[in-house]
């Protein structure tokens, strides 16, 4: 089989390794999505009619690069809980219920607590942070997130001296999330960070974009954003955060350990086994299939000054 390099492949064509090796699993996911699309209750409405506006301040460290249009950000999504197709979540997630919603924080902390999402919004001052977003599939966006530092949130539960890592878990609700009826991945979705990564000022919990509450297909009501890492690290629709002493086994590593490492730092010097990471296609509003302009990929996605010191002495080819 001839495997083309990334410059020749439209980003929508790229299939994760776990699906690439097992077409039956892919078809199960696609069938679930097709069934939901056929339901008359879905209709044609893609976004909420009256999205919630958020109050926030401007974060001075934001990039000045051209922002990706709202329509692109909300209609080109990796959200396998709804669909393996990038255009599918915008339709399949429209009736997803984000209230009531709680986030349980437990594990190696002095003050474990379950937080209501509306209390989180009231108690954490919001900022608009315009970050680059780099997907492992060699496409990228510039997104004006609205959120708050993850470190501030974790300090409220007081991690103890044994805590070394932070484990995040997505909602498990196959009735609402049709993709979870497939065996594409092991559900629920789990992701992890080293504690110092989680406490880095760049890591945020996002609750909105473009000044309004997160659309369902972008991870509502609360998701992780770690701008120096590949997008699969940005777990969506979080319901649990656990402080632990051992490195979590994150979902994509469990699925394809040769392709998706724990650290997932953007690194143009380490190619994905099936495509190059040296360049990326910046989606710019011209459509999805093969669109956008190709640019060189920056180490740590351009955030090296703020994060490179955390990995001093590490082999970042081996620790991918």
- Cβ neighbours for 157, distance < 8 A, ≥ 6 positions apart: 105, 109, 110, 111, 112, 113, 243
User: Tokens representing 127?
Assistant: 């900022």
**Residue 230 belongs to a domain:** yes
Q: Are 215 and 201 in contact (CB under 8 A)?
A: no
**Residue 297 belongs to a domain:** yes
CATH number for 97? 3.90.420.10
Domain hosting 133: range is: 6-311
**Residue 316 belongs to a domain:** no
**Residue 241 belongs to a domain:** yes
**Residue 12 belongs to a domain:** yes
**Residue 319 belongs to a domain:** no
**Residue 317 belongs to a domain:** no
pLDDT in tens, the chain (320 residues): 333 343 444 434 344 444 444 433 443 444 444 444 344 333 333 344 457 899 999 999 999 999 999 999 999 999 999 999 999 999 999 999 999 999 999 999 999 999 999 999 999 999 999 999 999 999 999 999 999 999 999 999 999 999 999 999 999 999 999 999 999 999 999 999 999 999 999 999 999 999 999 999 999 999 999 999 999 999 999 999 999 999 999 999 999 999 999 999 999 999 999 999 999 999 987 655 446 789 999 999 999 999 999 999 999 999 99
Number of domains, the chain: 1
User: For the whole model, what pTM was predicted?
Assistant: 0.85
**Residue 301 belongs to a domain:** yes
């Amino acid at each position: 089989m001839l495997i083309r390099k990334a410059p020749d492949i439209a980003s929508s064509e790229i299939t994760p390794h776990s699906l690439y090796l097992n077409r039956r699993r892919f078809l199960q996911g696609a069938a679930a999505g097709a069934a939901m699309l056929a339901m008359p209750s879905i209709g044609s409405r893609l976004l909420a009619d009256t999205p919630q506006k958020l109050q926030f301040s401007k974060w001075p460290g934001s990039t000045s690069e051209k922002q990706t249009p709202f329509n692109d950000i909300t209609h080109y999504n990796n959200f396998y809980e709804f669909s393996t197709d990038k255009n599918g979540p915008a339709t399949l997630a429209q009736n997803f219920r984000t209230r009531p919603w709680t986030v349980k924080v437990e594990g190696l902390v002095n003050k474990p607590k379950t937080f209501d999402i509306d209390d989180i919004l009231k108690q954490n001052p919001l900022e608009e942070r315009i970050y680059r977003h780099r997907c492992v599939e060699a496409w990228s966006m510039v997104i004006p997130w609205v959120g708050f530092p993850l470190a501030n949130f974790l300090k409220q539960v007081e991690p103890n001296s044994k805590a070394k890592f932070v484990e995040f878990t997505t909602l498990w609700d196959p009735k609402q999330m049709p993709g979870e009826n497939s065996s594409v991945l092991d559900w629920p979705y789990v992701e992890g960070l080293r504690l110092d990564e989680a406490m880095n000022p760049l890591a945020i919990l996002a609750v909105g974009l473009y000044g309004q509450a997160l659309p369902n297909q972008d991870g509502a009501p609360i998701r992780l954003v770690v701008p120096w890492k590949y997008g699969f690290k940005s777990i969506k629709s979080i319901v649990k955060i656990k402080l632990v002493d051992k490195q979590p086994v994150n979902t994509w590593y469990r699925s394809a350990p040769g392709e998706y490492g724990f650290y997932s730092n953007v690194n143009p010097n380490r190619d994905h086994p099936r495509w190059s990471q040296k360049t990326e296609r910046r989606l710019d509003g011209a459509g999805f299939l093969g669109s956008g302009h190709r640019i060189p990929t920056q180490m740590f996605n351009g955030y090296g000054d703020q994060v490179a010191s955390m990995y001093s002495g590490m082999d970042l080819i081996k620790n991918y």
